[in-house]
Amino acid sequence: MTETDWAKLALLCLAGAASPGLSWLLILSMSAARGIRVGISGALGHGLGITIFALTTVFGLSALLIAMPELTTALTLAGVLLLLYFGYQLTTAHPPVLPERLTTQGGFIAGFFIAIVNPKVLVFFLAVFGPFVEPTHSVKTQLSMGALAGGIDALVYICVAVTGMALRQVLDANRIRLINRLIGYFLILSGLWIFIQEISNLIKMVDN
């Protein structure tokens, strides 16, 4: 990849990690309710989960596209369906409840699994990270892409954990539920927009 590609990928990873979502809310709540050490531990666990997710996307999509390059459109449509489904889930979800006792080790494990099951992460890696995947990339480049995504994510969520301490007096279930709904509506609108763009591209291909 060129230096410009690396810069674009870094900015997208930063935007993806910094945009509020389920993981963002959980790390924020974890820090506010259980302390800064637990919050930072959760952020590091989340970064590890993102690294694994990124490497799986890079190596998995590379192998898949080498074998079946025509799957590009199918992957895009799958990303659209995920946006719509998880957008709906967020608009109807209740805020998560943290355990009464959560150690730093428990925070790390929780952060890791939050990254693995977070719908926003699935959407991000299918719709945003995927286009940077090339079958011709070297193993070193692919590993670097995974490390970049995980490193940026961990740094962002450490900042979120620190913010959680400052906001601990204003976090409540109603505010978390409202933020979840707003994010859900955004995902639904994004999915519809991507679907319209994909249909438009298919029509242009048929006309040509």
pTM of the model: 0.65
What does each C-alpha distance from 70 to 74, 91, 152, 175 come to in angstroms? 8, 33, 32, 43
Q: How many Å is the maximal CA-CA distance in the chain?
A: 62
Q: What range defines the domain where residue 198 resides?
A: 3-207
Q: Where does the pLDDT of residue 69 fall: very low under 50, low under 70, confident under 90, or very high at 90 and above?
A: low
Express each pLDDT in 79-113 by its tens digit. Answer: 677 667 767 776 776 655 555 556 778 888 888 88
Is residue 110 exposed (0-12), middle (13-18) or buried (19+ Cβ within 10 Å)? buried
Query: What ranges in 3-99 are assigned the alpha helix state H?
Result: 3-18, 22-34, 36-67, 72-92
Answer whether 180's CB lies under 8 Å from 93's CB. Answer: yes
How far apart CA 19 and CA 38 sit, in angstroms, is 21
How many structural domains compose the chain? 1
Answer whether 30's CB lies under 8 Å from 39's CB. Answer: yes
Q: With pLDDT > 70 as the criterion, what percentage of the chain qualifies?
A: 68
